[in-house]
A and B are shown apart, each in its own frame.
Chain A
Amino acid sequence: MRGNYPVDPTANEVLRQSGFDEYFNEGAGPTPATRGQLVCEDRLDVDSKRAEARLAKKLIDFATNHQSVPSRLKCVYGHLVDCMTNTHEHASADAGTERWWASVFVDKERGCDCFTFIDLGVGIFQSIELNRRLKIMALFSITRPDIIRKIFRKEIPSSTGLSYRGRGLPSIYESLSLTHSISRLVIATNDVYGDVGPDRFVVLSKPLKGLLLYWEVNHDQD
């Protein structure tokens, strides 16, 4: 690992407490100040690019401090597994060739758990299946933010052609808008950034290669 810690004191503190150091220094164990956990698929496992439920469990265990899992985090567990599956299936032309990372940060000041999932695959708009649909949608002047909205609302059919598939992103949206299990949802993929709750979407000047999903779960929902 190379690079410097941020100069900004707040960003510096958040990074140091995020579990980032522990992730890169395996075996060092978390310090008392550690408030986060970072996981990625096991680099020693030949099947490591698959969905690994045990790693989702690791994040949930960190957030609950190994106590019983409250229902607000049960849906998060499912979202994490679905995100891993989506990376496995859609992040590259050949299934299972892209890696993913996931993390949780327990933000005591704001009273929430912050979950991040990221892969550096092709991103939603470059996925081969969606690309075909995008060409048709472009004819109807449907913007990229509109497409993201439609995906979350399950208004774009699954790329498999089977209506019972493609429930991953819509179920995260349901957790935000319907069951309120999560309190904030952010997506960044290719040249689109969206804060989904307030429906604030912007075009990124520097595109993100891949997909980033971030959501928060309030502690006071227990």
Chain B
Amino acid sequence: MIKTEDSIVHSVALEFTATPGPRFEAQGPWSGEEFRKRLLEPWFLDASSRGIKLVIDLDGGYGYAPSFLEEAFGGLARDCGVDKVLRTVAFKSDEEPLLCDRVAKYIRESAAMTA
């Protein structure tokens, strides 16, 4: 974790796992659901209550299943609101620059339902 006056940086690989798993806890260990409940939501609530940016560092691990990312960040948006999450959370990845846009897309599309 790196703190500055206007942001706080958390690393998935260093603070959760380098080997992220599936979407739900019932599907296997190190799931997106577990990450969201145990770490991401508290980080988000802390950052938003202090009015600072929460920066999620996505580097350092083996990679991410799309379902992990969707459940973690899309799930956060479903719980806390798309706009609020997009205003508060930023992403960092030097290893996979396209990943940041993909996660932002998951957040934007998080509430959509099929017919």
Contact of A69 among B22, B63, B66, B67 (CB under 8 A): B63
State in angstroms the CA–CA spacing of A137 and B12 once bound together: 42
Once A51-B21, A81-B22 are accepted as A-B contacts, the answer to whether A167 and B28 lie under 8 Å apart by CB is no
For the A-B complex with A50-B27, A57-B62, A164-B74 known, give 16 more contacts whose Cβ atoms are closer than 8 Å. Answer: A51-B27, A52-B29, A53-B21, A53-B29, A53-B62, A56-B19, A74-B62, A77-B62, A85-B67, A157-B115, A162-B114, A164-B109, A164-B112, A165-B67, A168-B65, A179-B98
Once A163-B114, A164-B112 are accepted as A-B contacts, the answer to whether A74 and B27 lie under 8 Å apart by CB is no
**A71 interface residue per 8 A CB criterion:** yes
Q: Are A164 and B70 in contact (CB under 8 A)?
A: yes
Q: Give the chain A neighbours of B2 by CB distance below 8 A.
A: none
A88's closest neighbor in chain B, by CB? B27
**B23 interface residue per 8 A CB criterion:** yes
Q: Are A163 and B113 in contact (CB under 8 A)?
A: yes
Chain B, interface size category, equals 20 to 34
Q: Are B66 and A171 in contact (CB under 8 A)?
A: yes
Once A50-B28, A53-B29, A57-B19 are accepted as A-B contacts, the answer to whether A161 and B67 lie under 8 Å apart by CB is no
Q: Give the chain B neighbours of A74 by CB distance below 8 A.
A: 61-64, 95-96
Query: Smallest Cβ distance from B96 to chain A, in angstroms?
Result: 5
Q: Are A85 and B62 in contact (CB under 8 A)?
A: no
Q: Are A78 and B29 in contact (CB under 8 A)?
A: no
**A75 interface residue per 8 A CB criterion:** yes
Contact of A167 among B26, B62, B67 (CB under 8 A): B67
Q: Are A71 and B65 in contact (CB under 8 A)?
A: no
Q: Are A164 and B106 in contact (CB under 8 A)?
A: yes
Q: Which of A143-201 contact B (CB under 8 A)?
A: 157-158, 161-165, 167-168, 171, 179
Listed in ascending order, the chain A residues whose CB lies under 8 Å from chain B are 47, 50-54, 56-57, 60, 69, 71, 73-79, 81-82, 84-85, 88-89, 95, 157-158, 161-165, 167-168, 171, 179
State in angstroms the CA–CA spacing of A157 and B19 once bound together: 28
Listed in ascending order, the chain B residues whose CB lies under 8 Å from chain A are 17, 19-23, 26-30, 61-68, 70, 74, 95-96, 98, 106, 109-110, 112-115
Contact of B20 among A69, A81, A84 (CB under 8 A): A81
A-B contact pairs, 25 of them (CB 8 A): A51-B22, A53-B17, A53-B20, A57-B19, A57-B62, A69-B62, A74-B64, A74-B95, A77-B19, A77-B62, A81-B20, A81-B67, A85-B22, A85-B27, A85-B67, A88-B22, A88-B28, A89-B27, A157-B115, A163-B113, A163-B114, A165-B70, A167-B66, A168-B65, A168-B66
State in angstroms the CA–CA spacing of A69 and B20 once bound together: 14
Q: Give the chain A neighbours of B64 by CB distance below 8 A.
A: 74, 77-78
State in angstroms the CA–CA spacing of A89 and B28 once bound together: 11
Query: Smallest Cβ distance from B63 to chain A, in angstroms?
Result: 3
Q: Give the chain A neighbours of B67 by CB distance below 8 A.
A: 81-82, 85, 165, 167-168
Q: Are B63 and A161 in contact (CB under 8 A)?
A: no
Q: Give the chain A neighbours of B109 by CB distance below 8 A.
A: 163-164
